[in-house]
Amino acid sequence: MSAQLLDVASVPAYIASQPHLAALVDASTLTVVEVGDGNLNLVFIATDAGGASLVLKQSLPYVRMVGESWPLSQDRIIAEARGFDAAVEFTPESVPAYYGLDEPRRVIAMQDLSGWTVWRRALNEGRISPGAAAAIGRYVARIGFGTSVFAREPGHVKQAAADAINPELRKITEDLVFTQPYIDHPDNGWHPEIEAEVLALRDGGLVDEVGVLKYHFTTHAEALIHGDLHTGSVFVPDGEADVAAKVFDIEFSFYGPVAFDLGAFFGNVIIAQARAAVLDRPAEFRDWLDGLVGEAWEAFEAEFRALWPTRTDTFYSDTVRDRWLRYTFTDAIGYGGAKAIRRIVGLAKASDIETLDRADYTVAATAVLRTARAWIEGRETFATAADLPRPLR
């Protein structure tokens, strides 16, 4: 049975009924705005007369862009709460302040970051966000290490993985990222100018490589991962701030390969690079974009190495660490390519490319698909991020 859905009118009474939330804002003077523009949730900002505010997020029982014909369990909000709990434990500065889960109503409450900007929008506008990629790398490293067998007893990790299985949203990722872009599927779509490029993705060699990545995604229950860590799931500050980025929308969280979170971000960098190229953004911005994958990876690796001496089982030697880092980098590159392709071909595309005029779209989308394919097929040959092909460079 679905939990009763909130609306603008019912939010003040709901907050008043929750003592820990009523202590944060004056429920009697609230102004409530619905701001959710995603496909899976209701999101409300509630602000009182004194300016105090908070955000409520409630999972919908269906996919908004499709409607009730695509039902989903509201239990995924529990997965998001689990992701927040891990972030609060290992890297609290990397997420909005978290005010807890109301499990019966399938609602979480968190800090209002209206003064920040979703990173995809900032990138689309050509804005440089210093340190944001490094912040993402550290976030992935801290949670990836802290929830894995490197930091916890194996039995604890196995139980945590079982608790965090999140089957519905995992299947969405398996289908949208690793299967549908490479077959004839009704959820796919593209402008006719790039049809030859899209159909070329169905080449058996590429499909085999994506199949390997899909197998790793479905079987490598290494650590609790975000599961959908793209630039639309990151806030960056509009001015001075203590941290360079904050992560949100953790509802796809489950125990999976750490490389997937890195790859999700890497793939969105490809997309941002292609947009910047066709719009002829300033060289400073494009050079900064070209460094984002390396910035994120270097911060990830440095943080992981710094945490390594705290591992619970010293049977895992430094050689094991180095080999783990190598295959994580390799798979992250492959996942990055797959995520970039999915955003051009599959459902829920990237505004970076979709908002371009048709001529620029054709050039940028073609460049993304070719670059992404090169990443997937060549992922084992790239020694560092500097070796990666870049679109339109």
How many domains is the chain built from? 2
Question: Would 350 be classed as within a structural domain?
Answer: yes
- Choose among 294, 293, 301, 274: nearest CA to 360: 274
Of 45, 75, 110, at which residue does a domain stop? Answer: 110
Both 308 and 238 in a single domain?
yes
Q: At 256, phi and psi to the nearest 5?
A: -150, -165
Which residues, at least 6 apart from 123, have a Cβ–Cβ distance to it below 8 Å? 129, 231, 272, 275, 276, 289, 352
Both 139 and 76 in a single domain?
no
Question: Would 135 be classed as within a structural domain?
Answer: yes
Question: Would 354 be classed as within a structural domain?
Answer: yes
Query: What's 100's domain CATH number?
Result: 3.30.200.20
Both 173 and 208 in a single domain?
yes
- Choose among 261, 355, 303, 252: nearest CA to 150: 303
Q: With H, G, I as helix, E, B as strand and everything else as coil, classify residue 59.
A: strand
Which residues, at least 6 apart from 170, have a Cβ–Cβ distance to it below 8 Å? 218, 227, 252, 254, 256
Both 104 and 159 in a single domain?
no
Both 88 and 134 in a single domain?
no
What is the CA 266 to chain-centroid distance, rounded?
Answer: 10
Both 103 and 175 in a single domain?
no
- Choose among 277, 284, 266: nearest CA to 376: 266
Mean pLDDT, the chain cut into blocks of 10 residues (393 residues total): 86 98 98 82 96 96 62 87 98 98 97 97 98 98 98 97 93 97 96 98 97 98 98 95 95 97 98 98 98 98 98 97 98 98 96 98 98 98 98 93
Both 96 and 213 in a single domain?
no
Q: Which residue has the tokens 């989308």?
A: 365
Question: Would 216 be classed as within a structural domain?
Answer: yes
Both 201 and 335 in a single domain?
yes
**Token duo for residue 111:** 């800090």
- Choose among 240, 258, 277, 251: nearest CA to 352: 277
Question: Would 15 be classed as within a structural domain?
Answer: yes
Both 137 and 252 in a single domain?
yes
Question: Would 3 be classed as within a structural domain?
Answer: no
Contact 265, 368 (CB under 8 A): no
Tell me which residue range forms the domain holding 344. Answer: 117-387
Of 46, 78, 110, at which residue does a domain stop? Answer: 110
Tell me the C-alpha distance between 28 and 374, whole Å: 57
Predicted local distance difference test score (pLDDT) of residue 40: 79
Of 84, 110, 136, at which residue does a domain stop? Answer: 110
Predicted local distance difference test score (pLDDT) of residue 36: 72
Predicted local distance difference test score (pLDDT) of residue 70: 64
Q: At 60, phi and psi to the nearest 5?
A: -80, 155
Both 88 and 186 in a single domain?
no
Strand partners for 53: 47
Query: What's 186's domain CATH number?
Result: 3.90.1200.10
Cα angle, residue 234 at apex, residues 228 and 239 outer, rounded to 5°:
175
Both 141 and 287 in a single domain?
yes
Q: Please report, for residues 13, 120, 217, 258, the alpha-carbon distance to residue 335 in angstroms, rounded to integers and kept in the order given.
A: 44, 19, 9, 11
Question: Would 248 be classed as within a structural domain?
Answer: yes
Both 219 and 326 in a single domain?
yes
Question: Would 300 be classed as within a structural domain?
Answer: yes
**Token duo for residue 40:** 């899976």
Cα angle, residue 289 at apex, residues 119 and 347 outer, rounded to 5°:
55
